[in-house]
């Protein structure tokens, strides 16, 4: 093996390592694994399939973002959610056999059952948005975890903002 080939191989390996690293970072930032908890499907799946080079796992693609955030006590999404959902809408409408579960979550304030209902309403908001982007209703299931599965267990405004979320689980 010539020297240039060795360098090339080393670069490729470090690129893979670096890619793996940033993929893990993005999966933490988008706490799919935390959110599904015992199900464990989200993060494990993302990590397990990251080598295939599929569009879903490209850390530079908006598809790598799986979490959208909401206003307080509301099913109104924050403005930057739209770009993320448009990317998923486009992906899902051209991959009709792909099924996702949309999780709705709330911050800890207020009563738990009301939050369970609010989380469902948030998940429905995401589902309706994706339907408007051309995704078939049959490709999407929804579940609300209410306030039972915080992404951030803290009790600050910042933690609450992180917890008012919808999560797309592939």
Partner 1 sequence: MKKVFLLLVLWGWHLTAAAGLTIEITEGAEGALPIAVVPFGGSSPEDIAAIVASDLKRSGRFKPLPAADMLARPHGKAEVDFRDWRALKQESLVVGQVSPSGSGYQVRFELFDVFRGEQLAGYQFNTTARDLRPTAHHIADLIYEALTGERGAFATRIAYITGVRSADGKERVVLQVSDSDGFNPQTIFSSNEPVLSPAWSPDGRRLAYVSFENRKPAIYIQEVYSGQREKIADFPGINGAPAWSPDGRELAITLSKDGNPDIHIMDVASRSLRAITRHPAIDTEPAWAPDGRSLVFTSDRGGSPQIYRVSASGGEPQRVTFEGKYNARASYSADGKRLTMVTRDGGEFRIGVLDLATKAFRTVSDGSLDESPSFAPNGSMIIYAARAQGRGVLFAVSADGRTRQRLALEGGDVREPVWSPYSKR
Residues that bind partner 1 (CB under 8 A): 34, 37-39, 73, 108-114, 116-118, 120-121, 142-146, 148-149, 153, 155
Q: How far is the CB of 88 from partner 1 (least distance, A)?
A: 22
- Residue 69 DSSP SS3: strand
Cβ distance to partner 1 smaller for residue 82 or 121: 121
Question: What is the closest distance, in whole angstroms, from the C-beta atom of residue 18 to partner 1 in the complex?
Answer: 26
Of the candidates 151, 168, 29, the residue with the CA atom closest to the CA atom of residue 85: 168
Minimum CB separation of residue 97 from partner 1 in Å reads: 21
Are the beta carbons of 75 and 121 closer than 8 angstroms?
yes
163: tokens are 């917890």
DSSP state for residue 96 in the 8-state scheme = T
Residues facing residue 168 across a β-bridge: 102
Q: Cβ of residue 109: shortest distance to partner 1, in angstroms?
A: 6
CA distance 122 to 50: 29
Cβ-in-10-Å burial (0-12, 13-18, 19+) of 79 comes to exposed
Residue 34 Cβ vs partner 1, minimum distance, rounded to whole Å: 7
Q: Which residues pair with 77 in a beta bridge?
A: 70
Residue closer to partner 1 (CB basis): 36 or 84: 36
Nearest in space to 88 (alpha carbons), one of 100, 79, 80: 100
Nearer to partner 1, 8 or 114 (CB): 114
Compare residues 33 and 89 and give the one whose CB is closer to partner 1.
Answer: 33
User: Of 4 and 38, which has the nearer Cβ to partner 1?
Assistant: 38
């Amino acid at each position: 093996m010539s020297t240039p080939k060795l360098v090339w191989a080393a670069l490729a390996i470090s690129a893979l390592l670096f890619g793996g690293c940033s993929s893990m970072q993005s999966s933490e930032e988008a706490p799919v694994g935390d959110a599904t908890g015992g199900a464990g499907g989200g993060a494990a799946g993302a990590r397990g399939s990251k080598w295939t080079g599929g569009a879903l796992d490209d850390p530079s693609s908006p598809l790598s973002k799986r979490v959208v955030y909401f206003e307080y006590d509301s099913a109104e999404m924050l403005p930057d959610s739209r770009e993320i959902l448009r990317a998923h809408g486009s992906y899902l409408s051209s991959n009709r056999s792909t099924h996702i579960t949309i999780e709705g979550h709330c911050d800890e304030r207020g009563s738990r059952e009301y939050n369970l209902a609010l989380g469902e309403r948030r998940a429905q908001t995401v589902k309706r948005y994706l339907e408007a982007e051309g995704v078939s209703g049959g490709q999407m299931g929804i579940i609300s975890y209410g306030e039972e599965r915080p992404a951030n267990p803290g009790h600050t405004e910042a933690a609450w903002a992180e917890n008012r979320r919808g999560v797309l689980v592939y």
